[in-house]
């Protein structure tokens, strides 16, 4: 069953149910068969650790120093009435290209559980461990759906989340390929694709040696398991020696393009993500660490925000200029927000803790309408004021834009009837979609 | 280094009797014990030819990997191959079963089944993982009779930090009685309850409905107790249905978990010994007689019922000593068949007509690579608190916590330990795994800078010596003449460092190294 155990009744009333009720069509069914989606790829900027909603896309200067700290002068964007943190000037210039959700809520303050809720739409409980959005999308858009690329359909730049099982019960098939390496270095050493100091000539010679010494493979004849290993090896060499691996060669980009994204690991990851989208990779996660700022939050934000601003704005603009934004969803968000009331006391010294009661996300491209704000938090950013949105609503919206039926069955190892995304919340009522931006 | 001019044709050796020579003996297998008699008779009846007996080199490698999760060293290989005693295989088995690595590796297997994991969604937390792992390891070390081990796990009470086995009841995604019953059925009965009628699960859940979980003043400590108030409540059920349909009385003066454990471990229980015997066979042979090994049900019968019955008999007659059962199986001709099949097809596979080829487990593989190159892995578990420090020389098979961060172990199919199901561990090859082994900096650095490799660079006297030592260290055997010739044509008479690296790399990327066989 697709129920969401563990949610409070208030939370259970979240999502599309509220919107539909407000529109006077309470009880209406969520649309059954989604239209063929226009989106082909997702770039998930996973703002790992929990970015402060107040210090990014939901500024509250009127709440005073104890809430906004030194960030008391948010800037206007190119969309009338929308303002964002003053450290995000590049994003302010393109607010017409993205929607801001200011009323996400799940009420959970633990990293692991909140990561799971925001990326699966489910609350952990008995039964299966669900796959995250990347695994689901790569399942529906990957090899079984005709994706022919040699690049794996689900790429993580650069490290796995570690505290989150991306694939859930889908298992090894749905696991992402984590690149390792650092795209901001002179050469992006994608783990396994590029080996330092091994020339192409030596690569070919040693591969020949490997085959010459394969006495066991010969003895085993046509054994299926040995054949499987050979296939994996051949695919790997298509990446090492073939053209497939060239997508990771960022030196093919013009210098001013690399500069525009910023020479940080995050900026160059954004550029890398664009190159992967151009190759048709359906799901790319940029794991962007450093946002779990319990202590000295504001100095950390002064470092992080400009870097994020530059990379993310360059990505959205570049996709737009190349005509790819319409078919690419850029999804920015973390597992939760951070406590609106600043903890000035030691040992935090101006810190913010975990906050799942209300937080934000950004959606751009893939058919989502830009220049919009969904929902609102209260004057201090402590509670949802309007239009509470459960993470499952965001996920159903993304799946819908991709043309993936959120009610489709997922293959389960024990044959259980499990669906792409929950259709109902615990106390009843459908999980809707973000109709106002679709 | 050899010329890079690649020919279009496949340079691999062709299948031939010479190719098979290093891996098998040129004779028919003989039945040596009751297991063999049963299995060989069944194969004969089905018209399936068993494989030939495996060679000594293959046996050494296989037995070390299966029993101790550890690759033989070059010295071990040399001395075992030189040993002329007719009972050297039995001696090797005894020696392996006495090693610490045996304890580590079989603890790892049990910890997969018992879901030993600190983090989401099991959330045992690090301190409790250590207590749980330590208890399981001690049970394996002293070869605690399996019925006692099961009983201890099922009836434990106390603190999760202080009494390891209580964590069995915490190592579930939800602590409601039905979820606990599901875990008990999977672990000790080899049953997946989603195939059961609901009434059977509900009946069994009653035995676990009086467990209380209490927090203490110590952070993340949880005490598991029998909540007697629930047992003596006016509406408390007076009896509960066991999975075989019989009823057991529940009284206010006894924790019902004991009644369940009594029933489970009683002689003649239709699931308990069968599930354990099948699991041990699966762990050694890569496939259960009932397949999958934790899916016992009437419509999924064993491929050879008499074989499973004999293993069960052995287990009970040996007073539930799992180590004795391992010893019996490993000494059988059935276990010692070569992996080169003479009959193929699903029936031959289901009846173990050849030893099944399968990729090394993630932990075993990385330990083997480290052993060859003299390197270690850096493991740590920085979250959640308390921080778990893991010494640099800790082998991967000895890791306690299934959520210890490791990209390598993830990539190579370490089980998530979410459910305890055997199929969580994947041996499936992927392109990503090949990329990593063929070309990652992780592996390359071990080969270029590992202390054992540096030693090799300075001590290899000539190509013949170097090649022989690499073969012994990596494949636990001497090279064939054809292999020596291929190595010589690559390297010339004096080995350079790069050539040593390339030879080791080539041996470590072939199926002979990557698989158990």
Q: Does B192 touch chain A (CB under 8 A)?
A: yes
Indicate if the pLDDT at residue B23 is higher than 50. Answer: yes
What confidence category does residue B385 fall into, taking pLDDT thresholds of 50, 70 and 90? low
Q: Does B280 share its domain with B261?
A: no
- Of the ranges A2-16, A349-363, B181-195, B365-379, which one carries the lowest mean pLDDT score? A2-16
Q: Does B420 share its domain with B490?
A: yes
What are the pLDDT digits (tens) for B69-94? 999 999 999 999 999 999 999 999 99
Q: Does B169 share its domain with B67?
A: no
Query: Cβ A240–B441 below 8 Å, yes or no?
Result: no
| B111 Cβ neighbours under 8 A, 6+ residues apart | B132, B133, B136, B400, B402, B417
pLDDT at B236: 87
Number of Cβ within 10 Å of residue B448's Cβ equals: 18
pLDDT at A20: 35
Selected residue with higher pLDDT from A357 and A124: A357
pLDDT at B123: 80
What are the pLDDT digits (tens) for A251-272? 999 999 999 999 999 999 999 9
Q: Does B414 share its domain with B461?
A: yes
Q: Does B337 share its domain with B392?
A: no
Q: How far apart are CA B205 and CA B202, in angstroms?
A: 5
Angle at A134 between CA A384 and CA A105, to 5 degrees: 10
What are the pLDDT digits (tens) for A400-429? 999 999 999 998 876 778 899 999 876 567
- The Cα of A122 is separated from the nearest Cα of chain B by a number of Å equal to 12
Q: Does B81 touch chain A (CB under 8 A)?
A: no
Number of Cβ within 10 Å of residue A85's Cβ equals: 23
Give the max Cα distance, chain A.
77
pLDDT at B406: 87
Is B6 inside any structural domain? no
Residue from the list B20, B174, B507 with its beta carbon closest to the beta carbon of A213: B507
Is B327 inside any structural domain? yes
Query: Cβ A163–B120 below 8 Å, yes or no?
Result: yes
- The Cα of A173 is separated from the nearest Cα of chain B by a number of Å equal to 9
Is B11 inside any structural domain? no
What confidence category does residue A242 fall into, taking pLDDT thresholds of 50, 70 and 90? confident
Percent of chain B with pLDDT over 90: 84
pLDDT at B60: 98
Region A192-213 average pLDDT: 92
Q: Give the residue from chain B lying closest to A127, CA to CA.
A: B173
- The Cα of B381 is separated from the nearest Cα of chain A by a number of Å equal to 10
- The Cα of A331 is separated from the nearest Cα of chain B by a number of Å equal to 24
Region B310-323 average pLDDT: 98
Indicate if the pLDDT at residue B284 is higher than 70. Answer: yes
CB contacts, 8 Å: A158 with chain B: none
pLDDT at B384: 62
Region B411-420 average pLDDT: 91
Region A165-173 average pLDDT: 82
Q: Give the residue from chain B lying closest to A114, CA to CA.
A: B120
Is B108 inside any structural domain? no
Q: Does B12 touch chain A (CB under 8 A)?
A: yes
What confidence category does residue A91 fall into, taking pLDDT thresholds of 50, 70 and 90? very high
Is B107 inside any structural domain? no
Q: Does B259 share its domain with B302?
A: no
Is B233 inside any structural domain? yes
Is B447 inside any structural domain? yes
CB contacts, 8 Å: A112 with chain B: 119-121, 384
| The last residue of a domain, from among B293, B322, B355 | B355
- The Cα of A13 is separated from the nearest Cα of chain B by a number of Å equal to 24
What confidence category does residue A1 fall into, taking pLDDT thresholds of 50, 70 and 90? very low
pLDDT at A424: 87
Query: Cβ B405–A116 below 8 Å, yes or no?
Result: no
Residue from the list B22, B120, B339 with its beta carbon closest to the beta carbon of A215: B22
Q: Does B369 share its domain with B341?
A: no
- Of the ranges A282-286, A358-362, B299-303, B491-495, which one carries the lowest mean pLDDT score? B491-495
Burial A286-303 (b: 16+ CB within 10 A, else e): bbbeebbbbeebbebbee
Q: What is the dihedral of CA B244, B247, B251, B257, to 10 degrees?
A: 0
Q: How far apart are CA B499 and CA B491, in angstroms?
A: 6
- With DSSP H G I counted as helix, E B as strand and the rest as coil, what are the percentages for chain B, rounded to 5? 50, 5, 40
CB contacts, 8 Å: A201 with chain B: 4
Is B4 inside any structural domain? no
Q: Does B465 share its domain with B376?
A: yes
Q: Does A379 touch chain B (CB under 8 A)?
A: no
Render A125-161 in DSSP notation, one character per residue.
Answer: -SS--PPPHHHHHHHHHSGGGT---SS-SEEEES---
Q: Does B367 share its domain with B510?
A: yes
Q: What is the pTM (predicted TM-score) of this model? A: 0.88
Q: Does B502 touch chain A (CB under 8 A)?
A: yes
Residue from the list A116, A213, A232 with its beta carbon closest to the beta carbon of B433: A232
What confidence category does residue B408 fall into, taking pLDDT thresholds of 50, 70 and 90? very high
Indicate if the pLDDT at residue A28 is higher than 60. Answer: no
| The last residue of a domain, from among B265, B290, B325 | B265
Residue from the list A206, A239, A416 with its beta carbon closest to the beta carbon of B435: A239
What are the pLDDT digits (tens) for B135-191? 999 999 999 999 999 999 999 999 999 999 999 999 997 889 999 999 999 999 999
Q: Does B344 share its domain with B258?
A: no
Is the separation of the CB atoms in B169 and B122 below 8 Å?
A: no
- A&B contacts, CB < 8 Å: 211
Domain that holds residue B215: 118-133+144-265
Is the separation of the CB atoms in A124 and A254 below 8 Å?
A: no
Indicate if the pLDDT at residue A234 is higher than 80. Answer: yes
Q: Does A148 touch chain B (CB under 8 A)?
A: no
Q: Does A219 touch chain B (CB under 8 A)?
A: yes
Residue from the list B173, B384, B430 with its beta carbon closest to the beta carbon of A232: B430
pLDDT at B16: 84
Closest CA to B207 of B161, B173, B248, B169: B248
pLDDT at B383: 62
Residue from the list A126, A172, A198 with its beta carbon closest to the beta carbon of B179: A126
Region A121-125 average pLDDT: 86
Going along B237-297, which residue ranges are E strands? 239-241, 247-249
Query: Cβ A172–B426 below 8 Å, yes or no?
Result: yes
Q: How far is C-alpha B15 from the chain's CA centre?
A: 31
Question: What structural domains does chain A harbor?
Answer: 9-23+37-188+263-437 (3.40.720.10), 195-248 (no CATH)
Query: Cβ B407–A159 below 8 Å, yes or no?
Result: yes
pLDDT at A36: 61
In the stretch 199-238 of chain B, residues with CB closer than 8 A to chain A read none
Indicate if the pLDDT at residue B269 is higher than 70. Answer: yes
Number of Cβ within 10 Å of residue B405's Cβ equals: 18
Q: Does B444 touch chain A (CB under 8 A)?
A: yes
Q: What is the dihedral of CA B42, B48, B52, B54, to 10 degrees?
A: -70
Region B244-264 average pLDDT: 96
Number of Cβ within 10 Å of residue B158's Cβ equals: 14
Query: Cβ B428–A219 below 8 Å, yes or no?
Result: no
Average pLDDT, chain B: 94
Indicate if the pLDDT at residue A285 is higher than 50. Answer: yes
Query: Cβ B439–A236 below 8 Å, yes or no?
Result: yes
Angle at A298 between CA A297 and CA A301, to 5 degrees: 90
Interface probe for B, chosen from A125, A190, A211, A212 (most Cβ of B below 10 Å), is A212
Q: Does B32 share its domain with B126?
A: no
Query: Cβ A223–B357 below 8 Å, yes or no?
Result: yes
Q: Does A227 touch chain B (CB under 8 A)?
A: no
Average pLDDT, chain A: 89
Query: Cβ B2–A195 below 8 Å, yes or no?
Result: no
CB contacts, 8 Å: A127 with chain B: 173-174
Domain count, chain B: 3
Q: Does A186 touch chain B (CB under 8 A)?
A: no
Residue from the list A126, A201, A204 with its beta carbon closest to the beta carbon of B173: A126
Q: Does B500 share its domain with B462?
A: yes
pLDDT at A426: 64
What pairs with residue A76 in β-bridges? A83
Q: Map tokens 């959205």 to a residue.
A: A316
Region B201-214 average pLDDT: 96
pLDDT at A143: 77
Q: Does A412 touch chain B (CB under 8 A)?
A: no
Query: Cβ A152–B121 below 8 Å, yes or no?
Result: no
Render B392-455 in DSSP notation, one character per residue.
Answer: TT--GGG---TT---HHHHHTT----SS--GGGS-----HHHHHHHHH-HHHHHHHHH-HHHHH
| The last residue of a domain, from among B237, B265, B293 | B265
Query: Cβ B486–A111 below 8 Å, yes or no?
Result: no
CB contacts, 8 Å: A180 with chain B: 407, 440-441
């Amino acid at each position: 069953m697709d129920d969401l155990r563990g949610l409070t009744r208030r939370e259970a009333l979240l999502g599309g149910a509220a919107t539909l009720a407000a529109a006077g069509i309470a009880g209406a069914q969520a649309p059954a068969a989604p239209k063929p989606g226009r989106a082909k790829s997702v770039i998930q900027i996973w703002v790992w650790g929990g970015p402060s909603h107040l210090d990014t896309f939901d500024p509250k200067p009127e709440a005073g120093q104890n809430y906004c700290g030194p960030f008391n002068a948010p800037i206007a964007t190119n969309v009338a009435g929308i303002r964002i943190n003053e450290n995000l000037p590049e994003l302010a210039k393109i607010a017409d290209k993205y929607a801001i959700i200011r009323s996400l809520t799940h009420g959970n303050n633990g990293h692991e559980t909140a990561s799971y809720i925001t990326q699966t739409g489910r609350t952990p409980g008995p039964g299966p461990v669900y796959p995250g959005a990347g695994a689901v999308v790569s399942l529906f858009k990957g090899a079984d759906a005709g994706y022919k690329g040699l690049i794996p359909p689900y790429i993580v730049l650069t490290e796995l989340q570690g505290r989150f099982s991306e694939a859930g019960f889908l298992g090894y098939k749905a696991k992402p390929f984590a690149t390792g390496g650092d795209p901001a270095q002179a050469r992006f050493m994608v783990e396994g694709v590029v080996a330092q100091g091994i020339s192409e000539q030596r690569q070919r010679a040693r591969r020949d040696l490997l085959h010459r010494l394969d006495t066991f493979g010969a003895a085993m004849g046509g054994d299926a398991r040995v054949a499987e290993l050979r296939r994996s090896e051949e695919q790997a060499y298509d990446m090492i020696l073939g053209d497939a691996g060239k997508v990771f060669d960022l030196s093919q980009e013009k210098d001013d393009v690399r500069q525009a994204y910023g020479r940080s690991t995050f900026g160059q990851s954004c550029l890398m993500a664009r190159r992967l989208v151009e190759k048709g990779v359906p799901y790319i996660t940029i794991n962007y660490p450093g946002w779990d700022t319990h202590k000295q939050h504001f100095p950390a934000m002064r470092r992080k925000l400009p870097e994020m601003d530059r990379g993310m704005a360059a990505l959205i603009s570049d996709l737009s200029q190349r005509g790819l934004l319409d078919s690419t969803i850029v999804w920015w968000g973390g597992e939760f927000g951070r406590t609106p009331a600043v903890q000035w006391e030691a040992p935090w010294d101006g810190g913010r803790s975990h906050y799942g009661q209300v937080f934000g996300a950004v959606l751009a491209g893939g058919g989502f309408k830009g220049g919009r704000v969904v929902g609102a938090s209260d004057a201090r950013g402590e509670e949802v004021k309007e239009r509470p949105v459960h993470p499952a609503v965001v996920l159903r919206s993304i799946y819908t834009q991709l043309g993936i039926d959120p009610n489709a069955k997922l293959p389960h190892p024990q044959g259980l009837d499990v669906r792409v995304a929950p259709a109902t919340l615990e106390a009843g009522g459908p999980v809707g979609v973000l109709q106002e931006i679709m | 280094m050899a010329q890079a001019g690649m020919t279009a044709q496949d340079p691999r050796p062709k299948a031939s009797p010479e190719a098979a020579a290093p891996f098998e003996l040129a004779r028919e297998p003989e039945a040596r014990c009751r297991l063999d008699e049963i299995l060989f008779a069944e194969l004969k009846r089905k018209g399936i030819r068993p494989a030939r007996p495996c060679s000594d080199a293959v046996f050494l490698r296989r037995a070390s990997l299966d029993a101790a999760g550890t690759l033989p060293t070059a010295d071990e290989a040399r001395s075992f191959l030189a040993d002329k005693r007719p009972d050297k295989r039995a001696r090797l088995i005894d020696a392996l079963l006495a090693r610490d690595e045996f304890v580590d590796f079989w603890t790892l297997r049990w910890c997969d089944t018992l879901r030993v994991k600190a983090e989401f969604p099991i959330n045992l937390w690090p301190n409790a993982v250590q207590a749980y792992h330590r208890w399981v390891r001690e049970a394996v070390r002293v070869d605690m009779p399996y019925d006692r081990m099961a009983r201890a796990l099922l009836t434990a009470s106390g603190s999760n930090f202080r009494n390891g086995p209580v964590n069995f009841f915490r190592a579930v995604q939800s602590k409601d009685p039905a979820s606990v019953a599901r875990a008990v059925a999977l672990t000790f009965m080899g049953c997946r309850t989603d195939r059961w009628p609901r009434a059977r699960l509900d009946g069994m859940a009653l035995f676990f409905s009086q467990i209380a979980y209490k927090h203490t003043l110590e952070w993340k400590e949880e005490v598991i107790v029998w909540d007697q108030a629930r047992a003596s409540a006016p509406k408390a059920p007076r009896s509960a249905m066991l999975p075989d349909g019989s009823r057991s009385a529940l009284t206010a003066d006894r924790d019902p978990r004991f009644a369940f454990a009594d029933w489970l471990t009683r002689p003649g229980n239709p699931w308990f010994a069968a599930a354990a015997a099948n699991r041990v066979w699966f762990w050694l042979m890569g496939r259960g007689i009932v397949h999958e090994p934790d899916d016992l049900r009437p419509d999924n019968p064993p491929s050879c019922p008499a074989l499973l019955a004999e293993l069960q008999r052995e287990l009970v007659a040996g007073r539930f000593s799992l180590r004795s059962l391992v010893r019996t199986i490993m000494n059988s001709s059935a276990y010692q068949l070569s992996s080169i099949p003479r009959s193929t097809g699903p029936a031959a596979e289901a009846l173990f007509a050849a030893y099944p080829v399968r990729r090394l487990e993630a932990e075993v593989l990385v330990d083997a690579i480290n052993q060859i190159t003299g390197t270690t892995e850096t493991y740590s578990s920085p979250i959640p608190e308390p921080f778990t420090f893991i010494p640099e020389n800790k082998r991967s098979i000895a890791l306690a916590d299934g959520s210890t961060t490791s990209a390598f172990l993830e990539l190579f199919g370490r089980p998530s330990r979410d459910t305890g199901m055997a199929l969580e561990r994947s041996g499936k090859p992927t392109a990503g795994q090949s990329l990593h082994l063929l070309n990652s900096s992780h592996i390359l650095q071990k080969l270029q800078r590992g202390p054992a490799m540096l030693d090799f660079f300075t001590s290899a006297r000539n190509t013949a010596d170097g090649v022989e030592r690499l073969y012994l260290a990596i494949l636990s055997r001497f090279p064939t003449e054809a292999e020596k010739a291929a190595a010589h044509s690559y390297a010339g008479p004096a080995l350079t460092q790069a050539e040593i690296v390339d030879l080791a790399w080539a041996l470590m990327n072939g199926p002979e190294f990557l698989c158990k066989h």
